[in-house]
A and B are shown apart, each in its own frame.
Chain A
């Protein structure tokens, strides 16, 4: 389970580079570093997601039209359909899937999709779970690193001037 963050700070000229470290629960192991993409709503990876392009197509979704390829995807959970695992595996197979996934819930469908993709294609996409308070620390565009043990480090740069 997620612990309270340790903050390491380091001064770099006029900017303050700080790092938030969170320990997450590992649902599928993997290591990845990528820019965060934070989704405001749950997403169905079947019906709401085009697995051939990695694009969100759900008409109701606030991030409709955006692509997840190569991003660290932060979302509350997947939605509904039994098709979610295969939607995730297919996107990973095509190289348009997320680099890693940070969830707010212990979501079996997302984890199984990534696990089967790892078994079939040898691509390891980490899937981890954090509490709501920690999930709120992510901002789209920030660099996020996830390691094999579920240690997440979020880099934030604060301009002092």
Chain B
């Protein structure tokens, strides 16, 4: 606690602390300072954007905090966007209040309070898919794990992973402790992962990026990984998959991909001129093991398909719609897509919702399917193309997850049972000898 005095505070910091702008702002400043002391930051850093997670309901303490802020004159210093919620504000039938009155009404109240606080109500875990977000070099507040990793790695904005309350307090004050991934030193690549042993054809498959991310999360531990060997045309959806999977299975908050991500034009720059602490060649067997660890089930009747974790992008809809056009999901199978209201509007403009509706697909916004059962339930054998969903859902819901490609998800949904593209699942396709 004694380090508070070594921090450089400006006049506004001191005024906030003294309560000049009310109790809420004083608490916000105290929380930011406490975080700075704990992380041993020597100064605070101005930010220009925040994406907060404290709007995701997990009990009355979330509501009490937001209400305290709203009732005591809190004012946001920067544009502040909201993460996914437990419920949808647009479609109240996604999780009807009658199912769980305390939780659902609490979640709705929490959303209203953050609306009142002046947040941009985007309710998405993939805010980087929306226009008007931060750019390279911007210091920001991120909280949702996949968004933190995507912003740091792919956008080149700078954030640590801020937990609930601190995310809001920093957005109110407009400052964060200058530490970790806000500093150049914190962003230096530490471990080099190479892909020479992995067939190039596989490296272009979407499923590879999910599996690579899942493996990376476990192998990188708390070090900043640098990946060499990703195809130069790797797209944002694939980089999203790496971000989400690596942040879920491990603690990766920043990765560099040589020749692709903004701070890694080449190896030299990714490591800031230093030598990697370790060089690890990823083996086919490791990837196969990581891939298989994401499936509890492998065959049989399919109860549900869940895609859009993190939220489905416009380009993912663009790929999915032709696969489903003129087809119909099996009557015993549910098919959910989670997305943001922003992307939903774009998809509606294209007339794609009609195609999806007649295929028997349900699109939900503001929320996600892995927290609690949505709409018509979520149980049994569930197929997903998301490593993050496959990793988390079996702990949150009673489901048997089956991990596969988007094409496998569609084909399985139509057949009502798990279908595998055997060409892709042969060990040979992953570079293994047998």
Which residues from chain A sit less than 8 Å from chain B, CB to CB? 26-29, 46-47, 51-52, 58-59, 80-87, 89-90, 92-94, 106-109, 111-113, 115-117, 119-121
13 A-B residue pairs with CB within 8 Å: A28-B34, A29-B1, A47-B396, A52-B59, A85-B165, A89-B65, A89-B165, A94-B59, A106-B40, A108-B39, A113-B164, A116-B27, A120-B64
How far in angstroms is the closest Cβ of chain A from B385? 22
With beta carbons under 8 angstroms apart, the residue of B56, B60, B145, B165 that contacts A116 is B165
**Residues of B with C-beta under 8 A to A51:** 58-59, 61
**Contact across chains for A83 and B166 when beta carbons are under 8 A apart:** no
Contact with A along B145-184 (1 / 0, CB 8 A): 1000000000000000111111100000000000000000
How far in angstroms is the closest Cβ of chain A from B210? 18
**Residues of A with C-beta under 8 A to B395:** 47, 58-59
- Complex Cα gap A84–B64 (Å): 16
**Contact across chains for A80 and B251 when beta carbons are under 8 A apart:** yes
- Complex Cα gap A129–B34 (Å): 14
How far in angstroms is the closest Cβ of chain B from A44? 10
Q: A83-B56, A86-B61, A108-B163 are in contact. List 7 more A-B contacts (CB 8 A).
A: A82-B162, A83-B53, A85-B164, A89-B61, A112-B164, A116-B65, A116-B165
> How many residues of B are counted as interface, with CB atoms below 8 angstroms from the partner's CB atoms?
34
In the complex, the 6 A-B pairs of residues with the closest C-beta atoms, listed nearest first? A90-B59, A90-B61, A109-B163, A89-B61, A82-B53, A86-B164
How far in angstroms is the closest Cβ of chain A from B32? 10
**Contact across chains for B166 and A85 when beta carbons are under 8 A apart:** yes
Which residues from chain B sit less than 8 Å from chain A, CB to CB? 1, 27, 30-31, 34-35, 38-40, 53-54, 56, 58-62, 64-65, 68, 143-145, 161-167, 251, 392, 395-396
- Complex Cα gap A5–B363 (Å): 60
**Residues of A with C-beta under 8 A to B144:** 82
**Residues of A with C-beta under 8 A to B30:** 115
**Residues of A with C-beta under 8 A to B68:** 119-120
**Contact across chains for B145 and A115 when beta carbons are under 8 A apart:** no
By beta carbon, the residue of chain A nearest B1 is A26
